[in-house]
Each structure stands twice: as structure tokens, then as C-alpha cells.
Amino acid sequence: MKRILLVEDDEALGQGIALSFEGQGFDFCSCSRLAEARNALQQGTFDLILLDLGLPDGSGLALCRELRARGDATPVLFLTANDAEYSEVTALEAGGDDYITKPFSLAVLRARVAAALRRGEAKGEAPVYELGPFRFDFSALHFEAAGREITLSVTEQRLLRLLVANRGRTLPREVLLEQVWNGGEFVDENTLTVTVRRLRAKLEAGSKAPAYIQTVYGVGYRWEAGGDV
């Protein structure tokens, strides 16, 4: 059974979301305040978090940043009525894995939750890559840049693994959307742009050789293999 933490102050919406997942193998813990969510996280672990941006005692961004700062890579899907692009960018840069604007279809929400959970499941071989100043252990989920440990979200891990496994080869944006987001039906290209920017910033902060993730304008991205050892 998958455990989901739902942090939403609209009681009717929260009940509707929980009911839409009923009988599908999910256990929901519902909170309406950040304080309640923090307490729930201290009491146990969750497979996924549905997090409202605007809460009575603060912003969901704060909670997401706290999780990422302590190395918690639990997928976070933001729920919000704010459809402004800058708000979506801010949420993704804070460590969110998806951004869903209200009102939304419960069927779409279920599909996005299922996709996020699939991304979080380890499948197949999990190799270790030692590339230039980097060491990426996808089995132990341990990532280093110039000897400094870095924390990556589940989506960032999937994107990084795809890039380094195909280093030196340009991967089109549509391929990345398809493989990182399990089909990409509900993900726009802005999400990919922000995720690449966030991953690149984390890697370059600990590296003397910036821009390992190269942008191939009009096509996609590639891991530049020139500095690898």
C-alpha cells in the first residue's frame, strides 16, 4: 500500500481527492496546516506528497525546501490555483516534481500520481558512474560533485541517469519528456527546462568544469563527455 501525505486546507477538495483514490491501494494522511504536515512527517514516511502552495500557516514551498535540504527525495506534487509561470518555476526550483493547477481533473491527478510513483521505483540495473569530478551511485542513491554530496529529487535522478547513460549523444526534448515523465502526456516543456536548470545548478556548484549538461538549441540536451575519466 502506498502512503500519500495530502496537505490541503480546502476540506471538500481534500475529501474528494482521497475518495477518488479509494480502493486503489493508497493510504491517505490528510493535513490542512504546515504544522500538521511536519508532525506527520516526523511520525512516519510517505511515498508521495500532494502539497498545496497556499496554506493558512505558510507556503508549501517552505516545506518542500525543508525536505530537500535534509536529503528527503520523496516526490512532491504541488496543487495550486496559481497558474502563473513564475510560480510554477519557483515551485519546481524549490524541489517539486510536478505542478498541478486548480481546478483539475481527478483522473489527471491520478495519472500524475501514478507517474510520479513509477519514477520513484528503482527498476533494472542501477550503475555507478564516475565522470570527471562526479560520482553517481544510482543504487545507493548517493551523488557527489567534486567530493561534495548533492541531494537530487526523484525526477532529477531520472534525468541525470538518462543523460549520463547516453553521454556524448544529444537527447531530443520529446525523448526526455517521454522517458523521464513516463510518457509526458501531462507535462509541458517548461517543466523540463526548469528541471534541467535545477539539476545543472546542483552539479556545477561543486564542479570546476561547468556546463556538463549542454543545451543543443532547438533539439534537446546532452551530457558533454569531454571531461570524463
Q: Where in the chain is the domain with CATH 3.40.50.2300?
A: 2-120
Q: What percent of the chain has pLDDT over 90?
A: 40
Distance CA 14, CA 180 (A): 28
- Tens digit of each residue's pLDDT (9 = 90 or more) over 80-105: 998 888 899 999 988 898 999 998 89
Between 34 and 166, residue with greater pLDDT? 34
Q: What mean pLDDT, rounded, does the chain reach?
A: 86
- Tens digit of each residue's pLDDT (9 = 90 or more) over 6-42: 999 999 999 999 999 888 888 999 999 999 999 999 8
Distance CA 202, CA 212 (A): 11
How far CA 143 is from CA of 93, 101, 118, 153, 207, in Å, comes to 18, 32, 21, 11, 13
Distance CA 24, CA 97 (A): 22
* pLDDT at site 15: 92
**Residue 184 pLDDT greater than 70, yes or no:** no
* pLDDT at site 169: 82
**Residue 126 pLDDT greater than 70, yes or no:** no
* pLDDT at site 189: 76
**Least reliable range by pLDDT among 48-52, 183-187, 213-217:** 183-187
Distance CA 87, CA 3 (A): 27
* pLDDT at site 45: 84
Between 4 and 70, residue with greater pLDDT? 4
* pLDDT at site 9: 93
Q: If one looks up domain 2-120 in CATH, what number appears?
A: 3.40.50.2300
Q: Are 95 and 65 in contact (CB under 8 A)?
A: yes
Q: If one looks up domain 128-227 in CATH, what number appears?
A: 1.10.10.10
Q: Are 36 and 79 in contact (CB under 8 A)?
A: no
**Residue 146 pLDDT greater than 90, yes or no:** no
- Region class of 120: left (phi > 0), else alpha (psi between -120 and 50), else beta: alpha
